[in-house]
Amino acid sequence: MDWIRYSDYEYEIDSEGSLYVKPKENASFSMYNPFNVANDLLIDFLKIGEAARVYFKNKDQAVYEELKRLVFLYAKKYGLLGLISASTYNYNVIGDEDVLLMKNNFIQQTERSIDVLTYMKLFTPFADKDDLSVMVYKNSVDLVKGEDSPKFYGKRPLVMDLIFSKFYAEKLDWIINFAGMLAEHFNQLLVYRASANYLTEHVTILADTFKANKIGFTINQLDKTTISWNFDSLKTTIEVIYAFAVTDENILLSRCEHCGDFYIALSNREKYCNPACRNRANVQKSRQRKSELEAQ
């Protein structure tokens, strides 16, 4: 699977006062495979999610500014999430008259159905008519872009041409809502892990919220047989990487018991993200024991 990131992004406020993140006009694009940087991609996103959880609780402006910084850096490293596609049941959003929205989407839409042009405008609030248009022919639909950006000519759903354009934008709130949910899911998972010996049946965590949809893949053969993932969004990719990270018996996603950072543990016995945190934790424990002895 390939995804696109631009060399630079910026924040811009639309006519209704919503803050969006989008590529800069003079930015250049590059393609990468998210699975080649899976661990970093997931951990960086969970850091956004943890900051989002803190912000949801206290609405502190300083935390919000930190969220803006983290999301901006994330977009530069990995691109936007592709929420326009990940929020609908439609396989190819562009080309249908209406889009059917998933019940639990992260774009703050309660309607079940929206006409496609209105839906597109949610993600292209800064594009003019000359920048972006949908052309309907007798037997086909095309997306005309007034810019030099990737175009796949039928190799992928047409909506990918829009996601990979400089006119495509996503609200900051959408991104932090999804990130906050994922971090909340992991924190609840850790609670259940700690009490696993007492569970008598399977527990589905955040069953009404965490639902990965539209996952596709093919089986390829070269020197060996491999799975080739074919997702319609970076959001879905993150969900799948997360699912593998928390279920792999040999490499586990975890949180450092000292500093709280997310990291990949090589075994269940590993409790700290690096030797420095392990040493600091041991020093704290030693001091605590000493204080308890002196207090006796």
Q: What are φ and ψ of residue 102, in 5° steps?
A: -65, 150
In tens digits, the chain (296 residues) has pLDDT values of 789 999 999 999 999 999 999 999 899 999 999 999 999 999 999 999 999 999 999 999 999 999 999 999 999 999 999 999 999 998 888 888 899 999 888 998 888 999 988 999 999 999 888 888 777 777 667 777 777 676 765 567 788 888 988 999 999 999 999 999 999 999 998 888 888 777 777 888 888 888 888 888 888 888 889 888 778 899 999 999 999 888 887 778 888 888 888 888 877 777 887 878 888 877 777 777 777 777 76
Residues 94 and 65 in one domain: yes
226 and 288, same structural domain?
no
Q: Which domain holds residue 289?
A: 250-296
- 20 lies in the same domain as 98: yes
**Pair 199, 272 in one domain:** no
Please tell me the pTM assigned to this model.
0.86
212 in the same domain as 235: yes
156 and 106 in a common domain: yes
Which of these, 205, 210, 275, lies nearest to 238 by C-alpha position?
A: 210
Same domain, 240 and 164: yes
Which of 170, 204, 208 is closest to 48 using CA atoms?
Answer: 170
Clarify whether residues 155 and 288 are in a common domain: no
How many of the other CB atoms lie within 10 Å of CB of 234? 24
- Residues 150, 68 share a domain: yes
Q: Please provide the DSSP assignment of 122-190 as one string.
A: HH-TT--TTTEEEEE-SS-EEEEESS-----TTSS-THHHHHTSTT--EEHHHHHHHHHHHHHHHHHHH
Same domain, 32 and 122: yes
* DSSP H/E element including 5: strand 3-6
Q: How many Cα neighbours within 13 Å face the side chain of 50?
A: 13
What tokens appear for 134 in the block? 């949908």
- Tell me, yes or no, whether 203 and 287 share the same domain: no
Side chain identity, residue 28: S
- End position of a domain, from candidates 224, 247, 270: 247
Domains of the chain: total: 2
Q: Looking at the structure, do residues 143 and 257 belong to the same domain, yes or no? A: no
